[in-house]
Structure formats: C-alpha cells, structure tokens
C-alpha cells in the first residue's frame, strides 16, 4: 500500500464526512448525515454496488437468520410501510434488492463512489481533518471519518499447504461471483461448517455429483422454519411497527420473541422439554433467545439446552457415526454463533454426501486434483471455502487509521480498545459503526447500526451547535469501557469457548471478547447518558 498522505496536504477540508462502505451502515450514515445535518458526504464502496455483506455473500442458500420484517431499517415509516418482504427470513437477493431500493428512494447514490476501496486514513491535527487514501490513488479530506466497513467483511482462507495449486474451480462464500454456478455432475468440497457453510452445503448437495464436507467443529444448528409471509403477517407488522420496534430494541437480540422463561433450572424436566420443543418448532433464534434467560450465564442451564440439541441431531441423522461427528460435545450451546438451517442434518442422509472430520484426519495439503488429509486423497472439481472472517476488528485493521500519535494496529495489538464500541482514543472525529465492544452481532444489525448512527448524528449536531470541530475519547473513558465490556463478557459462558467472537478463529489474534453482551437496552441507555452529560468521557474542542 502506498500512502498519498503527506505533511504538505492542504489545510482546506474538502468534505464534512467520509463514510467507509455502502452496506446497511454506510447507506443509513449517508442518509442521516446528509439529510438530517446537511453535511457534504462522500461514501466509498469497494464493491460494484451498494449492499455490503449482501452484495458479496451471494452463494446459493444465503439467507438472513433474523426475521425480515425485523432485519430492516426503522428510520422511515414510509419505507417500512411500502416495502413488502416475501418470506419470513429473506434470501440474499431480496435483501440486496431492498438496499438498492433504499439507495434509490433516498437518492443516495450521488454521494457514493463504487469500486473504490479506502486503503489508508490519517488524522491531520493541524488541519483538524482526516486525509483518506483510496485504491485509485486519490486522496480526500474530511472533518469526520465514519466506518461502515462491517463486522464480517474481512474474509479469511485457511493457511494450508498448496492452497494455490488446485487446478479446479475455487469459490469463497464471502466473495461469491455475480453469475450463477452450476454444480451438476461435479465433485465438490466445502471447507467450513459455520452459518455460511451450512447454508451452502444444503443447496450444493442437491446439485453436485458428490459433495464432501470438511468439518473442523460441529455446530448446534436449529431449524429456521422459513415460509412465505402471509397478508396477515404484513398487516400485523405494518399496523404495529412503532411498538414492535420499541419492543425489539428492548430485547436482547433485537427481536422480541414471546414466551421466554427466566431459568431452565426453575421448571420441571417436563416443562423444560416442552419449552425447548416449542422453541425448536417455532424456528429462528427462539431456541436461545426465546426459551430460557439463563442459557448464556449458567452452565447447568446451558447443558439442558445443549443436550436437547444433541438429541435432535441424533434423531435426524441416519448413520450414528455421522451423527456423532455432527454433534458438538465440548462447548456450551450459543457460545459459538448458532446457525439456522433447513434440512441441514438430513443432507448427510443423502448418498452423494460425505462428512470428513478434519480434527481426526487433518487436511495436509491441497493438491492440483483435490484435498489430501491424513486419511487419503479426495479428488475434486470444485472447492468452496466457507472459512469465515477476521471478525469485528479485521475490517478496520486492514485500513489501519492513524492519529498523530497512534495507529490502530499498535493500539489494538493486545485486543480492541474503544469507548462505547464507537470511538478510539487517539483517533479524533472517527466513529466505528457497530465497532468492537458494542452489541453489534449479538443484536439485530440494522437496529444496532441505526442506534450508532443516530448517536453520532446527534453528536455532530451538538458539536455544530457549540462550535466544536474535534471530539476524542479520553484514555480514561476508553480504559473504563474496555474493562466494563470484559467484565460483562467474563460473567457469561462465551469466553470459555473458541469462537470468532473472541478471535480464536484467527491464528495469533488476541483472545479478547469482541462484543458488548450487557444487552442493547442497557447499552443504549449508557450512550444516551454520555450524550446528556455533554459527552462525558470525551474531549471537545
């Protein structure tokens, strides 16, 4: 990367705000800063169009696992009323169409530059502005830098010998080609069995001549129970949207599932079983966010849910040896992101699907003809990598914003350090939408995004009113937030499991829990109090 940033940059500031990315976050940030504050905004998007996650992850089976009427913007009542979601859980093309509609409806494209990646950013103290480099060799300056770079956008590949030697076709779920791919008659491998792997495996198995799945860790996957939305669903949401959004914002996951009971240990075995059966049948995230309130804090309570899920796997998979391989054994339910599925476990009952446990027989090498494990060679025409992301911190670290005295990579060398999961000491006028140590991925992302952008819009408005040009978190407020965030995480079962929530999927990444798990309602209240107290914990000048 070459930087065009130099001390001779003009002190003239070209823009009020530069926004990184045109996904859910970048689209609303563009709208909010431009339409509510009248700022001069430019949004840079690496992809060819708006959509972010939903632009890139267009693999067969890609679908949202939050209900579509919830997984949408709430900022415009007209938008809520006019958009119709065809399914309970929207598939990728429909979400992408929705985001395109929002960009067009609010005329946002004229503030956006596509096919342009931000590759560096430095805060110039003398000019009090950000100097931002793009991969087309240009440099722009802006008072504020707002990252909508996403939390699961920096995809990763395994560090395995011969990865570039395979002579067949290679696809990544996270960077899927625009055109449809035909797997019929092909010998296909999928590496990875997270949310993306599970979705793509189920679809590709229907087409491929043979599918071999390379699994490192089995997951507790639950049925999504997708179906077309009915007219009644639509009426229900559209008539009661304000109340539904309020309730959603006050629930842990950002979707207000009814029927949650406080503790799995406070009811009889029979009642507990019924509650799990009800939640499993209801679909979506009800199994953990609509069953019992203590699954993420109490190991004994969690064991009851984990055992229920294991039993379901054993019931659904014909071959007991395969069922055993698919059964998670040594980590608590929900502490790795639980995927949702349609007929995932039944896929392993098909004669054209083979499961390989790569903990028992590790991948040794990718060869020109396929994959070699310690048990032998699998000949292949196609390899699909569904191997995940450098989550939460990866997208920001790949840009590595710099202040006068810090750069983000050094500042975060031992794990992310933020104030409110939104700002960083040493990086003035920088806001990370759904940054690490905010509720983000353990909340409903569009709502999390709106909460952050509303907060930063109010913050900039306050600065304008009071004649401030610069805001920076104090070191002390950042230390307190890092400590507070870690203390809450340590009171849960999450930190005992290797997952991307804690950086364990990336070799060498510091083991720090990346999400604020105190609940979005608490979190929003803390953010509101900071603002009410004149941005306590921040220096304004």
User: Can you give the binding site for ligand NA7, defined by CB under 6 A?
Assistant: 152, 158, 173, 191-197, 216-217, 337, 358, 386-389, 441, 500, 505
> How many other C-beta atoms are found inside a 10 Å radius of the C-beta of residue 163?
15
Q: What are phi and psi of 191, to 5 degrees?
A: -105, 125
What residues contact 338, with CB distance under 8 A and at least 6 apart? Answer: 219, 220, 221, 222, 285, 287, 288
Nearest to ligand NA7 of 388, 518 (CB atom): 388
Give, in order, the Cα–Cα distances in Å from 534 to each of 59, 410, 420, 429. 46, 30, 15, 16
Nearest to ligand NA7 of 176, 292 (CB atom): 176
Nearest to ligand NA7 of 334, 396 (CB atom): 334
3-state secondary structure of 4: coil
User: 31-48 burial by CB neighbour count: b if 16+ within 10 A, else e?
Assistant: bbbbeeeebebbbbbbbe
Shortest distance (Å) from residue 49 CB to ligand NA7: 20
Shortest distance (Å) from residue 217 CB to ligand NA7: 3
3-state secondary structure of 539: strand
Q: What are phi and psi of 229, to 5 degrees?
A: -70, 145
Nearest to ligand NA7 of 118, 358 (CB atom): 358
> How many other C-beta atoms are found inside a 10 Å radius of the C-beta of residue 209?
12
Nearest to ligand NA7 of 130, 385 (CB atom): 385
Using CB positions, name the residue nearest to ligand NA7: 194
Nearest to ligand NA7 of 445, 456 (CB atom): 445
Nearest to ligand NA7 of 193, 327 (CB atom): 193
Question: 40: closest CA among 111, 88, 108?
Answer: 111
Give, in order, the Cα–Cα distances in Å from 210 to each of 378, 437, 464, 498. 11, 42, 61, 31
Where does 125-230 have alpha helices with state H?
A: 195-204
Shortest distance (Å) from residue 434 CB to ligand NA7: 12
Nearest to ligand NA7 of 173, 342 (CB atom): 173
Shortest distance (Å) from residue 57 CB to ligand NA7: 8
Residue 309, judged by CB atoms within 10 A of its CB (0-12, 13-18, 19+), counts as buried
User: 498-526 burial by CB neighbour count: b if 16+ within 10 A, else e?
Assistant: ebbbbbebbeebeebbbbbbbbbeebbee
What residues contact 342, with CB distance under 8 A and at least 6 apart? Answer: 202, 223, 224, 226
Nearest to ligand NA7 of 210, 337 (CB atom): 337
């Amino acid at each position: 990367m070459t930087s065009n940033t130099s001390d001779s940059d003009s002190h003239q500031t070209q823009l009020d705000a530069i926004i990184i990315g045109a996904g859910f976050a970048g689209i609303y940030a563009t709208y909010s800063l431009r339409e509510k504050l009248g700022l001069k905004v430019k949004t840079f998007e690496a992809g060819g169009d708006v959509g972010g996650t939903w632009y890139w992850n267009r693999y067969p089976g890609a679908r949202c696992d939050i209900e579509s009427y919830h997984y949408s913007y709430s900022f415009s009542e007209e938008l809520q009323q006019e958009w119709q979601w065809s399914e309970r859980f929207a598939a990728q093309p429909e979400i992408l169409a929705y985001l395109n509609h929002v960009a067009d409806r609010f005329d946002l494209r004229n503030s956006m530059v596509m096919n342009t990646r931000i590759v560096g950013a430095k805060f110039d103290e003398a000019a009090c502005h950000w100097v931002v480099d793009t991969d087309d060799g240009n440099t722009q300056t802006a008072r504020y830098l707002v990252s909508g770079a996403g939390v699961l956008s920096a995809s990763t590949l395994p560090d395995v010998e011969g990865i570039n030697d395979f002579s067949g076709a290679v696809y990544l779920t996270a960077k899927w080609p625009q055109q449809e791919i035909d797997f019929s008659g092909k010998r296909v491998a999928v590496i990875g069995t997270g949310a993306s792997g599970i979705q793509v495996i189920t679809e590709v198995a229907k087409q491929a001549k043979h599918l071999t799945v390379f699994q490192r860790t089995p997951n507790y996957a639950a049925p999504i129970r997708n179906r077309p939305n009915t007219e009644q669903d639509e009426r229900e949401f559209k008539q009661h949207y304000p109340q539904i959004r309020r309730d959603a914002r006050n629930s842990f996951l950002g979707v207000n599932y009814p029927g949650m009971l406080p503790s799995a240990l406070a009811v009889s075995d029979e009642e507990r079983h019924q509650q799990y059966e009800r939640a499993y049948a209801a679909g979506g995230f009800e199994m953990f966010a609509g069953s019992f309130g203590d699954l993420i804090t109490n190991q004994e309570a969690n064991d009851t849910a984990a055992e229920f899920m294991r039993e379901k796997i054993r019931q659904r998979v014909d071959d007991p040896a395969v069922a055993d391989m698919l059964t998670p054994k040594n980590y608590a339910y929900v502490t790795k992101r639980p995927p949702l599925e349609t007929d995932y476990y039944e896929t392993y009952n098909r004669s054209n699907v083979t499961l390989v446990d790569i903990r028992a027989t590790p991948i040794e090498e990718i060869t020109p003809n396929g994959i070699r494990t310690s048990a032998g060679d699998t000949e292949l025409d196609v390899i699909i990598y569904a191997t995940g992301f450098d989550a939460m911190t990866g997208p920001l670290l790949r840009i590595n914003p710099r202040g006068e005295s810090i750069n983000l990579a050094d500042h975060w060398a031992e794990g992310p350090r933020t104030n409110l999961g939104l700002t960083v000491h040493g990086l003035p006028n920088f806001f990370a939408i759904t940054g690490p140590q905010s509720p983000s991925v353990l909340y409903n992302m569009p709502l999390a995004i709106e909460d952050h952008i509303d907060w930063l819009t109010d913050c900039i408005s306050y600065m304008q009113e009071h004649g401030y040009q610069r805001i920076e978190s104090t070191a002390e407020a950042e230390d307190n937030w890092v400590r507070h965030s870690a203390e809450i995480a340590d009171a849960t079962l999450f930190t005992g499991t290797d997952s991307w929530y804690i950086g364990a999927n990336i070799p060498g990444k510091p083991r720090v829990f990346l999400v604020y798990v105190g609940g979005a309602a608490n979190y929003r209240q803390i953010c509101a109090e900071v603002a009410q107290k004149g941005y306590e914990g921040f220096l304004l000048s």
